[in-house]
Amino acid sequence: MSFSFTCLMLAATPFLQGGDDWVPGDPYFPTPSSLSDSPTWIPLDDHGRENVGAMPTYSIEYDSQGDEQRYKVLARVHGFWVEPHRNVDSEIDFSFLEVRVPGMGVTDEIGLPQLPMIRTALGLPGMTSQVKIDAPDLRLYATFDNAPILPFQGPDLEPVGGEGQSASFKIDENFYRNYPDAWPQGPGSASAGPDHMFGTLPYARTNLQMFKYNPSKNQLNVAREIEFDLVFRSETTQPFELSRSWSQAASRFLENFDWLRDKGFILGPVRQWKGRYLIIHPEEWIDQLEPLIDLKEQRGYSVDLITIESINSVDSDDFFDEIKDWYFDAPVLEEKYVLLVGDTSRVPHRQTSMFDPLMGWGSSDMRYAFIHSDNSPSLWIGRFPAESASECKIMVDKSVAYQTDAFFDIDFYETATLAAHPGEANAYLDCIDTIMAQTHLYDRHRNFIDRGGDTADGKDEHVISDIDVKNVGLVMFRGHGSTSAWSPWDFDGHSLNDNDLDTLTDTKHNPVVFNVACSNHAIQLDADAIGREWMYYQAGASASVGAMHPSYRWANNTFAEYAWIWLQSDSLNSIAATTMSSLNSAAMTHADQLSRWNQQVYSVFGDPEMRVFNRAPFRIKIFFPDLEVLNPGLPLELAVFDDLGHAVPDAIVTLSGPQGPIFSGLSGPDGAFEIPAGLDLGDHEELTLRAWVDDRNGIDHVSSIAVDTGASTPEDLNGDGSVNGADLAQLLASWGQSGAGDFDGSGKVDGADLARLLAAWK
């Protein structure tokens, strides 16, 4: 199947009835019977014509009048998808059309027209619950005749096993026969409050009704623009500190992030990089975790270990209290990752804050990360779902290898397999087609292999071959799922399960797998959940993403689409940040309890800090202009370059020893870096030097560096074996300047250095 990238040109009345800037010769709105069986893109302006699948865009200005603050917002819709409705048997029903806008949810009144809702998040300078839309101007209407819009059928649950849902068709016949005006009326609404948080950041959500349907005329009206003021009164105003990863996440989520940062409402990231990494684990598995601990410490993370035995509880609230105490014990600007080790008999899930009318309360790893709000994470979290020490070792080794080994096979970094179930009104096939079509939203190119189950190319054995032979580095499945399988999805009606995974043989190229389906991560129900099997097979995945419960279809589609925008961004992102931020965006744009359910029931199996490569990585190199020996009394200069000799700015350089990081910092614009004099290096003849990048496709440099253990103490400036008046005179001679007497590396000799010299006097 494929998309129609241009609209059909029919001999009929032009769809545009108004809008004086419309270009003559623009396409006609197709009649339902003339549409293809795939979504057709209807562009609304030049941007939409040039970019199939374009999302809405926004321009925002700020104004303040007394205690009243305003964002002046101009929102534009550039196009939308349209296709004939399909019934539960996936048969085309020309009686109704479905329209959707990329990345957006829809109106959700059962039996009334299902129309796109244009939602976005605008960051606020402080907490408030008082927001409103003022002076709205919906304009540049495009009017589409012969447009029977499908009524909303209610929540679309993806049941375990893919049995499908048999339900009667829902339509408010009185509305469709008698309603005289365009619906919904009004421009929309705005909301804010304690449930509108992204990490520590408050935001307002706008819900814009730019699509309207008039049943008496069978007519769709689309306002291509809306201009309005978002009026609010901040109850508190304070600057918000963000780490590097949270700045990146917020910049993609908040339309006005740059303005908030420029005005000082968002602080960070700062030039000093710091990170913390918490591992909650069985005490007896510490040896299996050592390679991962070493990697994190050598990268500069302060690794904190909490054993399950010390918590001594099966109550998830006790685990959450440990995580929360750890979180608040560190500065906000530090990166924070949490890794849970073990199955749910060792580390229980936490109950969701969402109650599902069909499934009751759910369970979730994500809820451990929801500290400031019940609707948004505050840290990045993952799990190794191991049942034994040997399984833990397999998961650790695959994760460390993915992050530190380089491969010559470009497909591992730049090719992905997309598999999809062909049923359910083609919803899953449409999803992977959208992912392949929205390339203008990607900063990096990706080669996609289409394994849709509607053709003979879409088979289990082809997915396995893509991993084992073609060495693809990313795999996404969109369809029904059960605890043990991708439910019967392929061209022959087969499921992908542990029998297929057992045939994998390549233990070097371990892909990242997104199971966007029901219950593939439900380890609380089935020890052999396929998400866990992806992780414990040596030739399986380096990381797996999936749901622990049944989930909802349209929010799943939106999550999958946002995930690829993150995966293909210029700034490389961790698997946890990619997953959790994409889920958050999908929940915000759908704006209902069911999408929040989806957000909470997914989990990341793997190291949450693992970056997902999107191009062949460069190798990082460290060069020393002088002798490659660390003298405790002298600063050590070095430079960070790639394997082509180009400087690598903002590389994280860490000096570490057996007890963890000693010093970390960022390289300068020219790659230069200095390890200051006067560090407490301990009694070691050799330390580890590591340089890496957390936002680009780079393979770490790691090497040992010798320590000059025979060097005099730093305070013995003249090297005569004692700290005395001669050293004091030398220090005073360089007072206020840089030099050897600058023991603390502050850039000048001052009182702190004098105090240190006097303390070492002998």
List the single range of 3-12, 384-393, 432-441, 640-649 with lowest mean pLDDT: 3-12
Instruction: Measure the CA–CA gap between 711 and 740, rounded to whole angstroms.
Output: 14
pLDDT score at 246 = 93
Q: What is the pLDDT of residue 26?
A: 46
* pLDDT tens column, 550-608: 999 999 999 999 999 999 999 889 999 999 999 999 999 998 888 899 999 999 999 99
Half-sphere exposure in the Cβ direction for 135 (13 Å, CA): 10
C-alpha span between 602 and 586 (Å, rounded): 13
- The stretch 357-361 carries a mean pLDDT of 83
pLDDT confidence bin for 14, thresholds 50/70/90: very low
**Is the pLDDT at 23 greater than 70, yes or no?**
no
Q: Give the tens place of pLDDT for each residue, 108-143.
A: 999 999 999 999 999 999 888 889 999 999 999 998
What's the whole-number mean pLDDT along residues 132-160?
A: 87
Mean pLDDT of 4-13: 28
For residues 486 and 451, the answer to whether their CB atoms sit within 8 Å is no
Measured between alpha carbons, how far is 584 from 375 in angstroms, rounded to an integer?
8
Confidence category of residue 25, pLDDT binned at 50, 70, 90: very low
Locate 722 and state its tokens: 């004692």
Please state the three-class secondary structure of 481-524 as a single string.
ECCCCECCCCCCCCCECHHHHCCCCCCCCCCEEEEECCCCCCCC
What does the pLDDT read at residue 18?
A: 34
Return the structure tokens found at 99.
């329209």
CA distances from 68 to 59, 62, 203, 207 (A): 20, 11, 16, 21
Predicted local confidence at residue 31, as pLDDT: 60
**Smallest Cα–Cα separation from 87: which of 148, 149, 166, 32?**
166
Residue 162, pLDDT > 60, answer: no
The H or E element spanning position 468 is helix 460-468
CB-based contact 341:282 (threshold 8 Å): yes
If you search the block for the tokens 């779902």, which residue do you land on? Answer: 385
Max avg pLDDT among 6-10, 28-32, 291-295, 737-741: 291-295
Q: Which of 78-82, 473-477, 509-513 has the lowest mean pLDDT?
A: 78-82
- Give residue 12's pLDDT band: very low, low, confident or very high (50, 70, 90): very low
CA 141 to CA 209: how far, in whole Å?
Answer: 12
Distance CA 269, CA 334 (A): 9
Return the pLDDT at 156: 76
- In the chain, the domains with their CATH numbers are 32-242+244-267 (2.60.40.3800), 275-330+334-605 (3.40.50.1460), 618-707 (2.60.40.1930)
Look at residues 414, 409, 422 and name the one whose alpha carbon lies nearest to residue 469: 409
Q: Residue 213 has which token pair?
A: 């349907």
Element (H, E) at 324: helix 316-328
Average pLDDT on 670-691 reads 93
Q: Check residues 95 and 14 and name the one with the higher pLDDT.
A: 95
What is the rounded average pLDDT of the residues 400-405?
96
Of 189, 278, 256, 213, nearest to 80 by C-alpha is 213
Query: Is residue 8 helix, strand or coil?
Result: coil
Alpha carbon dihedral 504, 507, 512, 516, in 10-degree steps, equals: 20
Fill in the DSSP letter of residue 113.
B
> Six-digit token pair at 662?
């000693």
pLDDT at residue 9 in the model: 28
Range 280-305 average pLDDT: 98
pLDDT at 1: 29
C-alpha span between 655 and 665 (Å, rounded): 9
Quote the longest CA-to-CA distance of the chain.
100
Partnered with residue 275 across adjacent β-strands are 301, 335
Distance, C-alpha 696 to centroid of its chain: 15
pLDDT for 334: 92
Question: Which is nearest to 246 in space by CA: 90, 79, 89, 377?
Answer: 377
What's the pLDDT at 316?
A: 96
- Rounded mean pLDDT of 438-460? 96
